[in-house]
């Protein structure tokens, strides 16, 4: 009986938590977007959105493809990359030496 009460209580309190505002951070040649995992968006959705966007700029070399870290580079330029990582409760999108990401998934789902 206590277990049922705890499950209901935890579930109710979790539903009241609001996601943090999306952060956009620019520092020289690096641009970051920090997205709270409470937003209705997934790692795979962000990854697909980034790949589709940057494929047009010549980014096709997937150098890391893990559950919590993904990175693509240009085959002819090791000095530019796009990456997404899942750290604790945040998705971190980072671009280096290339155009800033414009995630269409943010516009359509949030």
**Thinking of the domain 22-109, which architecture would CATH place it in?**
2-Layer Sandwich (3.30)
For the chain, the three-class secondary structure string (H helix, E strand, C coil) is CHHHHHHHHHHHHHHCCCCCCCEEEEECCEEEEEEECCCCCCHHHHHHHHHHHHHCCCEEEEEEECCCEEEEEECCEEEEEEEEEEECCEEEEEEECCCCCCCHHHHHHC
- Per-residue tens of pLDDT for the chain, all 110 residues: 444 443 444 444 456 788 899 999 999 999 999 999 999 899 999 999 999 999 989 999 999 999 999 999 998 888 999 999 999 999 999 999 999 998 887 776 65
pTM (two decimals): 0.79
In the chain, where the domains are located: 22-109
């Amino acid at each position: 009986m206590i277990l049922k009460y705890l499950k209901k209580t935890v579930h109710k309190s979790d539903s009241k938590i609001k996601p943090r505002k999306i952060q956009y951070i620019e520092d020289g040649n690096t641009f970051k977007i920090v997205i709270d995992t409470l937003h209705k968006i997934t790692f795979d959705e962000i990854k697909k959105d980034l790949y589709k966007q940057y494929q047009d700029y010549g980014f096709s070399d997937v150098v890391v493809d893990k559950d919590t870290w993904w990175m693509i580079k240009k085959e002819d330029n090791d000095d530019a990359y796009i990456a997404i990582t899942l750290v604790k409760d945040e998705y971190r999108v980072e671009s280096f030496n290339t155009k800033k990401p414009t995630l269409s998934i943010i516009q359509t789902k949030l």
